[in-house]
Each structure stands twice: as structure tokens, then as C-alpha cells.
Amino acid sequence: MSTQVETQTGRERSTIYIVGGVVLVILVIIGLIAFSSAKSTQQAEQKADQFIAALQAEGARTPTRDQVVRVLGDDGGATCDNPNEALNRGILLSLLSNGAAGPGMRPVIADSRVVKGQLLIIKIYCPDELQDFQEFVDDLKTDDVAG
């Protein structure tokens, strides 16, 4: 067995530890800033209240205000991230199927209430997208099938 000979001086090791500590502190500060910026804003809370009231008016179960703020924020989250794009419409259409996978997957006549929540989100959080999305929904084959 051989013994490793230390080639660094104590000063060099101290410098490495200090630089590592400073980098760690900077990363923690950046993390705290990013975390605090994700907290709910007044606008997000107002829109959440408006969305919850709209859901109650439709007779739907309502999530808590904090849940809505975390998911939708003040801009509608993923729902308002270009809802009229072909990929997003394709994802919605794939969800309106019989639930099978592969060759057994078939479109179904969905209940007319199935996209009302999404329409409410778009109406409140990104109203500029509403008209195009409403036209898309109007073209869907829906009926009162869930009672």
C-alpha cells in the first residue's frame, strides 16, 4: 500500500472551500428569489375567485382558491399556452376517446359539459383566444350523454 502525498497547501484547499461555499450561497439566494416569485399575486387571486364563481354558477365542484392560483397563476397556465395550436387541439381530441390504446382507440360523442371548464378558463384568463376555441368546440360532436 502506498500513501498519497498531499500536493496542495492548506491555503489552496481553503480557497476551494470558500469558492464552493460562495457558489452554494449564490445558488440558494437564486432559489429563494425564484420560489418567492412563484407566490400568488393579487391578480392571480382575483382571477381565481372569478373562475371559482363561474364554476359554481355552472354547478360544478370547485377547487380551493390556492389550488387554482397554483395551477393557473395569473396567465391561465398550460391551458392558455396557445390553446388553438394544432398540437393542443389534438391532445384535447385524444382525450375525447373511448380510453383504449392503439388500434382500439376510437372517438366518441362526448358530453356537452366536458369542455365547459376549459372554456371558462380561457374566458377568464386568455379571452383573446376564446372566439377561435369556441368555434372549435362548436364543431365538436357532443350531446348530453352523462346525464
The pLDDT, as a whole number, for residue 40 is 59
CA-CA distance, 82 to 50, in Å (whole number)? 21
Predicted confidence band at 1 (pLDDT cuts at 50, 70, 90)? low
Residues 33 and 51 placed together within one structural domain of the fold: no
- In this prediction, residues 4-29 reach a mean pLDDT of 90
Residues 30 and 78 placed together within one structural domain of the fold: no
- Residues 6+ positions from 107 with CB-CB distance below 8 Å: 93, 96, 97, 98
The pLDDT, as a whole number, for residue 54 is 95
Structural domain boundaries, residue 14: 1-39
Residues 62 and 96 placed together within one structural domain of the fold: yes
Report which DSSP code applies to 59.
T
pLDDT digits (tens, 9 = 90+) for 122-147: 999 999 999 999 999 999 888 888 76
- Residues 6+ positions from 37 with CB-CB distance below 8 Å: none
Predicted confidence band at 65 (pLDDT cuts at 50, 70, 90)? very high
Q: Please indicate whether residue 77 or residue 35 has the higher confidence score (pLDDT).
A: 77
Residues 33 and 74 placed together within one structural domain of the fold: no
Residues 114 and 51 placed together within one structural domain of the fold: yes
The pLDDT, as a whole number, for residue 111 is 85
Residues 26 and 68 placed together within one structural domain of the fold: no
User: pTM for the whole thing?
Assistant: 0.69
- Our count of domains for the chain comes to 2
pLDDT digits (tens, 9 = 90+) for 41-62: 888 999 999 999 999 999 889 9
The pLDDT, as a whole number, for residue 4 is 80
Residues 54 and 91 placed together within one structural domain of the fold: yes
- Residues 6+ positions from 126 with CB-CB distance below 8 Å: 75, 76, 79, 80, 83
> What does pLDDT average to over the chain?
88
The pLDDT, as a whole number, for residue 124 is 96
- In this prediction, residues 20-33 reach a mean pLDDT of 93
Instruction: Calculate the alpha carbon distances from 144 to 60, 81, 82, 115 in Å.
Output: 15, 29, 28, 13
